[in-house]
Structure 1
Amino acid sequence: MAVITKFVVVREGVEKMTFTSKKEADAYDKMLDIADQLTPFVANSELELDDNVCEKLAFYMAQNKDELFSLLKGVAPSAAKTAKKSPKKAETKK
């Protein structure tokens, strides 16, 4: 018989997601916190978006926060992705 530990992220009494590691569950919970904070920010824009669209947009931005932060810092999208994908090679001296 196997014993399996599960970490469940619960919001307002509703199970959102189940994870096998605490680290993943905490990261998802933090992402949901960010989305919750972004929702009113998006809703207060002059775009006149419906509440459902505001929530989806906030969730998308929270899921992609690293790329969004890079864009807000002025880093070009292609440069940000390239920097993540290609690790720096050690220079060799001749």
Structure 2
Amino acid sequence: MTVEVKYVVVRNGEEKMTFANKKEADAYDKMLDLADSLGEWLQQAPVTLEEEQREGLSLFLAEHKDVLSQILRGAAPQETVKKPVKSKTDKTAPTPEEDAESGEQAA
């Protein structure tokens, strides 16, 4: 027989998520607290959001708080700065040889 310890995050009587360790459960609970605070703040926004939209937006913002804090500090968020690196085989315009092969003329 094995004994497993599970940490369950419960909100308003509803089980939200189960974790194997306390640190992850606490982090998730803290993120939900932030989402609740953001949801209350978004109610004061000059735009009208349905409750489901507001909850979804507040949860998204809470889940991405690190990127949001970078944006609010005026720094470019690291997640969106990364651009795909073009390899030497990627070409943006056909070479004259490719134009000749395809029968197209350069404009």
Scaled by the length of structure 1, the TM-score of the pair is: 0.80
- Say whether residues 1:35 and 2:35 are aligned partners: yes
Which protein shows a greater Rg? Answer: 2
**Corresponding residue SS for 2:3:** coil
Which runs of structure 1 show a deviation greater than 3 angstroms over 4 or more consecutive aligned residues? 78-82
Partner of 2:11: 11
Q: 1:80 Cα deviation (Å)?
A: 8.0
Q: Cα 1:29–1:81, aligned 2, differ >3 Å: closer, same or farther?
A: farther
Note if contact 2:67-2:79 (Cα within 8 Å) is conserved in structure 1.
no
Is 2:67–2:78's contact at 8 Å kept on the other side of the alignment?
no
Q: What displacement does 1:77 show?
A: 1.9
Indicate the RMSD between aligned Cα atoms, in angstroms: 1.7
C-alpha contact 1:7 1:21 (8 A) present in aligned 2: yes
- Pick 1 or 2: higher relative contact order, CA cutoff 8 A, min separation 6: 1
Aligned-pair CA distance for 1:61: 0.3
How high is the sequence identity, in percent, across the aligned residues?
Answer: 48
Normalising to structure 2: TM-score of the pair?
A: 0.71
Summarize the Cα distance change of 1:40–1:26 in structure 2 as closer, same or farther, 3 Å threshold.
same
C-alpha distance in 2, partners of 1:80/1:55?
24
Q: Structure 2: how far apart are the matches of 1:79 and 1:29?
A: 24
User: SS of 1:36's equivalent?
Assistant: helix
Alignment check: 8 A CA contact 1:35 1:58 kept:
yes
Deviation digits for residues 26-80 of structure 1, max 9, x if unmatched?
A: 0000000000000021121111111110111000000000110111011112488
Q: Which has the higher helix share?
A: 1
CA 51–69 in structure 1, closer or farther in 2 if over 3 Å, else same: same
Number of matched pairs = 82
Structure 2: segments with no counterpart, 5+ residues: 83-107
